[in-house]
Amino acid sequence: MTEQSVTVAGSAVGGETVTATAPQDGTPDTRVSVKPKNNRAWFLVLPVVVSVAFTAVIPLMTVVNFSVQDIFSPDDRIFVGLEWFRSVSRDPEIRAAFVRTLLFSAQVLLLEIPLGVALAVAMPRRGIWVSVALVLVALPLLIPWNVVGTIWQIFARADIGLGGWTINNVLGIDFNYTLDSTDAWITVLIMDVWHWTPLVALLAYAGLRSIPDPYFQAAQIDGASAWATFRHIQLPRLRGVLTIAILLRFMDSFMIYTEPFVVTGGGPGNATSFLSILLSKIAVGQFDLGPAGAFSLLYFLVVQIVSYVFFTVLTRAGR
């Protein structure tokens, strides 16, 4: 009598692999061998779980703990509930910083997305110049944020900076970002555009390279102009890539800290004092851990909500 082996899914018998043998002639056979499932693979995930716990979950819970207490010393604290959240949400300085940050993010998106797409379209698609163009475009992304701030702090100076000196002495425009709030805002905005437009360009360029050549050949046969080709072939194919670019640039610009802090320190006055800089002043400068904790959680919540709205609107518009 010959036998055949039948394997039953592990979920059927307590998460274990069951192997049963049955004769080919149909005679019932009750012999069943149960092989225990190997759970050692879960230990491979344990380092990731521990890492996430120590880098994200535990710090977040610490901030939540601070946000509901009035801390006078490590041993002297009072539970205040949601008092700090109400105080932060009504603070006129924080509201003004929120408006400035939102306006800055909107201007960044309006400038960097079109410039990045235009740069990607202008970049070569074949030949040795492709590598040269990619390296040159990616150079600003390789510079650390604090170094970018230092570069523009010197470059835009009216006395020693090439950019500031040219604007004042060659163009005849009175420019001084250390005294004029508009000049400071423009300096920070141009600095961010210079630093991060290459990211949008590289993402858009990757999307353009993924478009098959027959699309362009068909457009050429039909006599389509460059604008018509971009409007009806390239731009629709970039919708997914641009969704990612918009989300990345919004989140990063809304949380910008290092570059404006190095260049202007939030000044002159509060002209470039964004939410992140104000949060740093409250948490580090004033050491008000309770309001800073509530501020951080509200800040985090706003970023998540606005990013979700952006993603939902953009994905629905692409359907």
In 3D space, the residue among 313, 306, 225, 249 whose CA is nearest the CA of residue 117 turns out to be 249
Comparing C-alpha atoms, which of 296, 301, 298, 273 is closest to residue 283?
A: 296
Q: What is the pTM of this model?
A: 0.79
pLDDT value of position 5 = 46
Neighbours of 247 (CB within 10 A): 16
Q: Tell me the two tokens of residue 35.
A: 């092989």
CB 151 within 8 Å of CB 227: no
Stretch(es) of the chain classified as CATH 1.10.3720.10: 87-317
Cβ–Cβ contacts within 10 Å for residue 189, how many? 17
* Cβ pair 179, 272 in contact under 8 A: no
| pLDDT given for residue 156 in this prediction | 92
pLDDT of residue 128: 87
Q: Do 193 and 108 contact (CB within 8 A), yes or no?
A: yes
- The pLDDT value recorded for residue 230 is 87
Tens of pLDDT along the chain (319 residues) come to: 444 444 444 444 444 444 555 555 555 555 555 566 667 777 788 888 888 777 878 888 888 888 888 877 777 788 888 888 998 889 899 999 999 999 999 999 999 999 999 999 999 888 888 889 899 999 999 999 999 999 999 999 988 889 999 999 999 899 999 899 999 999 999 999 999 999 999 999 999 988 888 888 888 888 888 888 888 888 888 888 888 899 899 989 999 999 999 999 888 888 999 999 999 888 888 888 888 899 999 998 988 888 888 888 877 766 6
Separation in Å, CA 213 to CA 27, 101, 174, 188, 202:
63, 42, 50, 40, 19
Is the domain defined by 87-317 classed in CATH 1.10.3720.10? yes
pLDDT for the residue 118:
93
Edge-to-edge strand list for the sheet holding 32-35: 3-13, 16-23, 32-35
